[in-house]
Amino acid sequence: MVSVTQKSNTLFHNLKREIVMKTFHMFKSMLVSAALLTAAALPMNGTEALAAKKSSSSGEAKVSATLPEFIILHYYSALELNFEKPSSETIDEGDNSMNVAWSGIVNDNDELKPKNLRDAKLELDNDLVTVSLPDIWAVRGFSPNGKAEISIEIPNNGKTLKRGKSVIEMSNSKVTEGKKSGKSIKVDLNGIAKSRATTGGVIMDLDFMKTTRSGEHTGGLYKITAKTI
């Protein structure tokens, strides 16, 4: 005959074994799930690992450029100087009293002399006029030191402007750029872009001592040269 105590112990041991088995199966299930999750995550982690292990290499290339030495000169091949027209006027030289002989000859009187004439609105100190022509040439290009030399000359066949026997003498020509002027000057080259071209002018003397006629006088000539330095 089995006693109550024995039955209780048996039930207790059975219950304990059942709890242990359930707990074991639960942990087993959890371990399997964790293993499956880990396995599912492996492809992504593997790809990242492969990406991290990709090899690469790099190199540097030195670049150089050789530019030609050249210069562009802009200039006017013909210039027409139109002088401002002064207003015509009459100048009253005042009164004069003249002694006249019965023969009609006037002697020992104060007549008009060039040195005694009153000034007109337009007066020149002499027959020489210095003409300044701004911005009538421009240069651009490349040179070994980034500079250019600009020079000017009047050839022998270009020194006179004529209209018949009326002559204008042209001399003392100079090139200018900013505050610089001379027969030859050095200027900066600012590359080849038109917007950065270096511009300059010309100064010359015109002598009107032998000029007697109005209208166009032709034959004057000057030559501008630009060269890299």
Same domain for 15 and 77, yes or no, is: no
Stretch 202-220: mean pLDDT: 97
Whether residue 212 sits in one domain with residue 122 = yes
Q: What is the pTM of this model?
A: 0.68
pLDDT at 111 (0 to 100)? 74
Please indicate, yes or no, whether residues 103 and 18 belong to a single structural domain of this protein.
no
* Residues 4 and 117 placed together within one structural domain of the fold: no
45-80: pLDDT as tens digits: 555 555 567 899 999 999 999 999 999 999 999 999
Please give the distance of CA 53 from its chain centroid, rounded to a whole number: 52
Say yes or no: 213 and 121 in one domain.
Answer: yes
For residues 189 and 109, membership in a common domain is answered with yes
Domain count, the chain: 2
Say if residue 75 is in the same domain as residue 39.
Answer: no
Question: CB 19: neighbour CB atoms within 10 A?
Answer: 10
Residue at 57 is within a domain: no
Tokens 């104060």 identify what position? 110
What's the Cα-to-Cα distance from 151 to each of 129, 186, 192, 228, rounded to whole Å?
22, 9, 20, 12
Whether 219 shows a pLDDT value over 90: the answer reads yes
Clarify whether residues 42 and 142 are in a common domain.
no
> pLDDT tens across 81-113, in order?
999 888 878 777 777 777 878 878 887 677 777
